[in-house]
Structure 1
Amino acid sequence: MVPTPAPAPRPIPTSVAVDDFLAPQRTSAADLPDPEPLLRNLTRGVLEVLAGVREVDQLARWFTEEPFRALVTRANLATRARSARGVPAARPVHVIGTILQSSPLDGVVEAVVIVSGPARTRAVAIRLEGMDHRWRATSLALL
């Protein structure tokens, strides 16, 4: 009797291949909506979160993990500071002014939103990246 050769081993899928498949997929700017309304609404939402009149979870779907965690931390610190001073949360009165945008890469928008309040004018820097056919904020800085 002639021995039959052993079947060739099947390739084992690596976690890298699975991670690449399940990771957020880049989206071209041509397949995304105009980012300006999102920039306005994110800015307004972030200011309301920091003022304590909006839940931070309402903004979660528009952020990647790192800037969302930073926003949660900053919102918690603002809440503790208001509590220590005995100041209640109040809806902020801001006027969103100029929005300056640039696109360093396809599917990426870096913007600065100028916000005027009763006491001072601030700048909010936001980086949006196209992921899974929608914009998501990958960086946020309130100056």
Structure 2
Amino acid sequence: MPALHSASAPLSTIPADDVAASPRVNTRRADFIEEDYFGPQHTSASVLPEPKPLAENLARCVLEILAGARDLDQISRWVTDDVYRSLMTRVHVAARARAHKKIPAHRPSFSIGSTTVCQPADGVAECCVILHGKARSRSIAIRLEGLDGRWRATAIHVL
């Protein structure tokens, strides 16, 4: 039976085999950038569907949102956080303007005129959708990027 060491014995008298090694701490910097693994992953256009139908539907939804007929949360899946925030600002401005003029929210009637899609880089589609209404025509510019296996709008401008 091995001899027990007393707790009062100085550390220098305890054999080296009995002293527990201190845990090693990795002080080296990580060789990877966290955003590359856990952030949005770019997707090639070859594995994504045609961007034209999404651009037309997003343009239609954006006009309905600005008119107060649709909730902004319904398109949150297809837009980035920056686009969501900028659309939220426009929704509040449009709602205040309608309230000031005492105009109720209504679903606008319009038809899709032409849609132009340009793909300047792999996984990027820049679209321009023309919508014709009774009183005026609107142009909506949308930049779609392939992120996490689907198209997401990274910029939307209503002209």
Q: Which has the larger radius of gyration?
A: 2
- Structure 1 runs of 4+ with >3 Å offset: 5-9, 11-14
Residue 132 (structure 2) pairs with residue 116 (structure 1): yes
1:7 deviates by 7.2
The offset of 1:9, in angstroms, is: 3.8
In 2, Cα distance between the equivalents of 1:90 and 1:6?
Answer: 70
The CA RMSD measured in Å over matched residues stands at 2.1
Q: Does 1:72 align with 2:125?
A: no
TM-score, with length taken from structure 2? 0.82
Task: For 1:69, give the aligned amino acid.
Answer: R
1:99 has 2:109 as partner = no
Write the letter of the residue equivalent to 1:25. Answer: Q
Q: TM-score under structure 1 normalisation?
A: 0.90
State the SS of the aligned residue for 1:103.
strand
The amino acid across from 1:83 in the alignment is A
Q: Which runs of no fewer than 5 residues in structure 1 stay unpaired? A: none
* 1:55 matches 2:71: yes
Per-residue Cα deviation, 1:49-103 (whole angstroms, up to 9, x for no partner): 0000100011111101111100011011101110111100111011111101100
Partner of 2:151: 135
Offset at 1:19? Answer: 2.6
How far apart in 2 are the matches of 1:139 and 1:115?
18
Q: Give the length in aligned residue pairs.
A: 142
Structure 2: which 5+ runs fail to align? 1-14
